[in-house]
Structure 1
Amino acid sequence: MNASAVADLPVVVIGAGPVGLAAAAHLVDRGIEPLVLESGPAAGAAVRDWSHVRLFSPWREVTDAAAEKLLAPTGWTLPDATTYPTGGDWAERYLQPLADALGNTVRFGTTVTAVSRLGRDRIVDAEREAQPFVVHVTEQDGNEERVLARAVIDASGTWDNPGPAGGSGLPALGESATADRLVHRVPDFTDEAVRASYAGKRTAVIGSGASAFTALAQLAELARAEDGRGTRGLWILRRTMTDSTFGGGEADRLPARGALGLAAKRALDDGHVDAVTGFRVAAIERVTDGRLVLVGEDGRRLEPVDRVIVLTGFRPDLSFLSEVRLGLDERLQAPLELAPLIDPNQHSCGTVAPHGYRELSHPEQNFYLVGMKSYGRAPTFLALTGYEQVRSVVAAIDGDLTAADRVHLTLPETGVCAGAGLHGRPETAPEPDDGCRTAASAAARTNSLT
């Protein structure tokens, strides 16, 4: 296929989430045809899975400029910029209208199963970069199709690949066999049936970031509401507890994010949650009454629990990219140039440097991982980061390297960074009470863990 014919092909965007739809909006803004392929039935399918959870970022930090420009002629207006949407608000009031504005360029119920170069597997060098991408997809009815593209932007996220309970990065022994009592998401405690299933029970929460904070705070609220029924939480941390464990507190530039860590601390201080530190799960055993015993790699056996909430982060799905030449850091599974900038051992989300197409590039020209997936296993991702990523990437695809290299990003400093805030909270940022103010004085200014 000649260069002119390739240039006339669409840019395939994988995923109709916040960053994927923003990429499509930037493509439209530059006169480039996007084709967004989304496996779910609606925009923001992953976001809808946690529709009950309130973000710790306000509206002004979760919408993209090019998307707003595209939406303006439809009569859409930005909700109060200072208020905090739930996942459901974000999907219904922004993502779905944006997908509707993009029209037929967004295809739902379409799963990408493989990506390669037309007529070239990953081994072949000859005229490789002159060939378009070939994207294999499967529709809901089972029909298979292949789509040609001039470039591919993978914004499929990591939501479908949660980390396991096992402390070695592998599922704990017995994790599959006890799956009926394990969840890998923050439960919807606004649902009466869900609340009832945790009320009066002892629940272990494995994880150390925003999602774990949310679960702990909600378990504590349930315990207060169900006073006398014995609702308890058990927080499992793989490391020791330090002053930085709860994030930035009142020093956090995202107040709702700081309040989230403080709410988790209050859950411990009030005695509704116990903590076990330095515990890496090796096995999960079911005892005779159906409850579960967590066994540590050091041989410790914890008292039985009724349920386990596993919130140990997410991982990128790279299985359908086996024929694409990727350059990934061996630890984080993030692009090689980006990995040092987002290493959670060195950075919180407020200290991540602005980055764009250069840091997101791979040996496969015109193929990009963006959004949460670009961070691999690193947890410190904010929507603003993804929006700047796709602005730069789309400019590079368009050949406007001046604009692509002009990356600017100011992120709110301190505190935990990925995940979402408490659900069932007022839309305005919560004011910490006196107990939280006291806790904040002991909280460190940054923490990159989720």
Structure 2
Amino acid sequence: MDPVKNLPVAVIGAGPIGLAAAAHLLERGLEPLIFEAGPTAGWAIGQWRHIRLFSPWRFNLDAAAVRLLDGTGWESPRLTALPYGGELIDNYLTPLAATPALAPRLQTGARVIAVTRQGMDKTHTRDRGTMPFTVRVERNGGEVRDHTVSAVIDASGTWSTRNPLGTAGLPAIGEEAAAGRISLPLPDVAGRDRASFAGRRVLVVGAGHSAANTLISLAGLAKEEPATTILWAVRGPSAEKVYGGGDLDGLPARGQLGSRLRRLVEAGTIELHTGFGIAALKSLDSGVSVEAVDGRTLDADVVVPCTGFRPDLDILRELRLDLDPAVEAPTQLGPLIDPEFHSCGTVQPHGAKLLAHPEKDFYIVGMKSYGRAPTFLLATGYEQVRSVAAALAGDREAADTVHLELPETGVCSTDSGTSCDAPAPVAAAAETGCCAAPEPVLVGFPTGLAHGRSGIN
């Protein structure tokens, strides 16, 4: 018997996709070993637990994960309800991580800092595919340990690596020095982070659903704190992509989000600045001055970066990857998800075959598999890991047979900073009750996340 096959399979990230991967591995008779950088499962989603999702519960649950939960006395949430990020954690991820099947296989506070082949850097070829992987893990407190595994599923999401504020993919000049004036991508404006925004001059940067949510929350805060000033900067010539399809949007909650935002801009509650590509940030005694490429400037007390995310590929430096040069997704997947040509619902279902790399038995799944594209759907991630688990178990037929129907869901922003089914504001979500089209949730924010958002995983 091949000794490598008796080793566990490393799963990086304990968000929705990572835990689902572990559940599918167990059903295939494989042993998962889950590494989560945060203190708890779904830690990245906990950063935006105040956000309500576009998609109802019935599209946020993985089948293999539910089968594990069903044996524990778990009560399924109402499948037509739209959960908050916090409810996704409390009512699904936390009980899932605590099941007798997963709890002993989950290590929290365990950040993966490198993955390689045992005894080989990426230049060595001979017998490479027969060697196990080495996963180097740093624990809270600084202890570092290597783990030997048969395969690796990277579901770490993208939440920990946001895109910079500057243009051309680079940080704006002075961005690092102004870090104290830059908030998290989805701050809890009405709750945990209220003191940082009430009565302040706030600049939201970005043209996606993360920006829309934050702007609407700030508008609510401004009603209670009239001294709050809301500025919104987008690189493009208009905000039409953020406004979306309105009543024609495949996701009613998301359509209402865009329509509501448009009304706030038209009413003057939000001051919109288009064509505002950021060149530099200059720290001031009382805030920060943000300069556009064309020389315009905006002064703010705090800047909210809703500019999207990118995958952390540093930990995979010694592996042989085949990535699309544009979006940094697996090469075969890249053209199918490029946000310039595809919305969420036009992405084809895919599994292990499209996710494969030259590095045998290594897969990137979930939000991180989409690289810089924001069009990821949670149901897509569940189908990914079902297929990958089948492939690792040697069931090629099941791995190559993918089943997933995705709706056409209107316009997907290219810098939303979230997955395509990004969160909905509370009021809009409450009005819809459920979504008309099968739409899984945001993660990759990752649920490391998904959302990883590390994301959303």
Q: TM-score, normalised by structure 2?
A: 0.89
Contact 1:328–1:336 (8 Å) recurs in 2: yes
In structure 2, list runs of 5 or more residues that go unmatched.
413-419, 435-457
1:365 Cα deviation from its structure 2 partner: 0.8
Alignment of 1:323-342 (within 5 A): 323-342=318-337
SS in 1 for 2:98: helix
Partners of 1:147 and 1:78 lie apart in 2 by: 35
- From the superposition, tell whether residues 294 and 141 of structure 1 become closer, same or farther in structure 2 (CA, over 3 Å): closer
Pair 1:293 & 2:262 matched: no
Partners of 2:182 and 2:116 lie apart in 1 by: 37
Pair 1:253 & 2:258 matched: no
Contact 1:83–1:429 (8 Å) recurs in 2: no
Contact 1:354–1:409 (8 Å) recurs in 2: yes
State the partner residue of 2:182.
182
Pair 1:264 & 2:267 matched: no
- Name the amino acid aligned to 2:209: A
1:259 Cα deviation from its structure 2 partner: 1.7
Partners of 2:59 and 2:181 lie apart in 1 by: 36
State the partner residue of 1:444.
none
Alignment of 1:159-238 (within 5 A): 159-191=159-191, 194-226=193-225, 229-238=226-235
- From the superposition, tell whether residues 261 and 425 of structure 1 become closer, same or farther in structure 2 (CA, over 3 Å): closer
SS in 1 for 2:54: coil
1:149 Cα deviation from its structure 2 partner: 1.1
1:188 Cα deviation from its structure 2 partner: 0.7
State the partner residue of 1:156.
156
SS in 1 for 2:307: coil
Partners of 1:286 and 1:143 lie apart in 2 by: 37
Partners of 2:106 and 2:180 lie apart in 1 by: 35
Partners of 1:335 and 1:426 lie apart in 2 by: 34
Contact 1:39–1:111 (8 Å) recurs in 2: yes
Count of residues in correspondence between the two structures: 425
Partners of 1:212 and 1:426 lie apart in 2 by: 17
Partners of 1:55 and 1:395 lie apart in 2 by: 30
State the partner residue of 1:442.
none
State the partner residue of 1:94.
92
1:291 Cα deviation from its structure 2 partner: 2.8
Contact 2:351–2:402 (8 Å) recurs in 1: yes
1:410 Cα deviation from its structure 2 partner: 1.7
Percent identity of equivalent pairs:
50
Partners of 2:336 and 2:126 lie apart in 1 by: 34
Runs of 4+ in 1 over 3 A off after TM superposition: 242-245, 423-428
1:40 Cα deviation from its structure 2 partner: 1.0
In structure 1, list runs of 5 or more residues that go unmatched.
432-450
Contact 1:257–1:415 (8 Å) recurs in 2: no
Contact 1:110–1:138 (8 Å) recurs in 2: yes
State the partner residue of 2:142.
142
Give the RMSD, CA atoms, in angstroms. 1.8
Alignment of 1:353-432 (within 5 A): 353-412=348-407, 413-416=409-412, 417-423=420-426, 427=430, 429=432
Contact 2:82–2:433 (8 Å) recurs in 1: no
Contact 2:282–2:290 (8 Å) recurs in 1: yes
1:426 Cα deviation from its structure 2 partner: 6.1
SS in 2 for 1:95: helix
Which residue of 22, 25, 30 corresponds with 2:23? 25
Alignment of 1:305-316 (within 5 A): 305-316=300-311
